[in-house]
Structure 1
């Protein structure tokens, strides 16, 4: 699966996880919607949760922008829009906060859900806190990856939300 990022460039490039992935030839960054290929678009506003059933799309697309500008209008990319299920951030800025993932955390989570855990580990290996993301989310990621479809993912996510984890 090809990794692509619609790059807005509104965060500090030295701290940007997408730019680092590009430097290591692990993802392709695109400066416009038109340049960005069709694929599974990671979109927190999507109506459906990401599941293993979405793995055959060919391209995984994330949007890299600041949280302040990540409103619904920013997700006009063509593709199959899917929301990541409940996960906890391991990045230094949002450590322990649910659903406040960096671009690399979002990409790695999607890869694990798609059954590509080794590739997720490789992507996260470029960040000294990367392994912590997989450790913090080991159980939910394993459970999400075992689901057949979005409905099952949402059922599991509901368990975590009800427990307040």
Structure 2
């Protein structure tokens, strides 16, 4: 995962997977030879990507403000898009294309046939399998497609058949909207997780204490600095 520190590290689903040793964080200067779920992709992830994922892996770009992410600096072999899916995370529930890191990864894995791995990573979140429930019909259709073109056709046919695009729900009072889909403060307990480290891609991470109502991680040490943010600032000097 390339993480640019645009969401609360204590709530970020990608950072939680990293603490569970299910995901590795990447520096912006590192290239990645596998499939990357990225908004700058030109093809949808499909079963024809499965062999590359098996050999080189699957990555995600953790972003909330697209204009602030240097996608041109992220060297990857196969940037890929996802079909039209809705979020199940508590912040962006039923919002189209507002997926958290774990939802992005699980969707790509499901489409490529890695259903066991999909179940495994979603099981780390109380709301995780709701993502499959909300999107199962389209995900199953896409998992039967051989390539990107077939997935786009399946997606468009499904959208026409359902003849509905869910409206984004009204933002609840007291809840902050986050495009990255951070975990809701009450959604999961982190009592048994390894320590948080500073985001390796963010030099000036906010070290001030969290708001009293935010999620608590009682046994977690300080976060690591974000080296990607550091490198960008140094290049700009």
TM-score, scaled to structure 2: 0.63
Which of 33, 37, 42 is the equivalent residue of 1:38?
Answer: 33
CA contact (8 A) 1:47 1:82 kept: yes
Structure whose residues are more often helix by fraction:
1
1:109 and 1:6 map into 2 onto residues whose CA distance is 18
Q: Which residue of 2 aligns with 1:12?
A: 8
Q: Which residue of 1 aligns with 2:22?
A: 26
2:97 and 2:122 map into 1 onto residues whose CA distance is 17
User: How many residues are matched?
Assistant: 158
Report deviation, 1:36: 4.5
1:56 aligns to 2:54 (yes or no): no
- Gaps of at least 5 residues in structure 2 are 166-237
CA contact (8 A) 1:86 1:160 kept: no
Cα-to-partner distance string for 1:23-64 (whole Å, 9 max, x where unaligned): 11111011x222242211111232111111111112111001
2:78 and 2:28 map into 1 onto residues whose CA distance is 14
Q: For 1:129-148, what aligned pairs fall within 5 Å after superposition?
A: 129-148=127-146
Instruction: Give me the CA root mean square deviation.
Output: 1.6
Report deviation, 1:73: 5.5
TM-score, scaled to structure 1: 0.89
Give 1 or 2 for the bigger CA radius of gyration. Answer: 2
2:70 and 2:147 map into 1 onto residues whose CA distance is 26
Q: For 1:1-165, what aligned pairs fall within 5 Å after superposition?
A: 5-30=1-26, 32-57=27-52, 58-65=56-63, 67=64, 69-71=65-67, 74-76=70-72, 77=74, 78-162=76-160, 163-165=163-165
For the residue of structure 1 that corresponds to 2:25, the secondary structure is strand
- Gaps of at least 5 residues in structure 1 are none
Structure 1 segments (4+ residues) deviating >6 Å: none
Classify 1:39/1:137 alpha carbon distance in 2 versus 1 (closer, same or farther; 3 Å). Answer: same
CA contact (8 A) 2:34 2:78 kept: yes
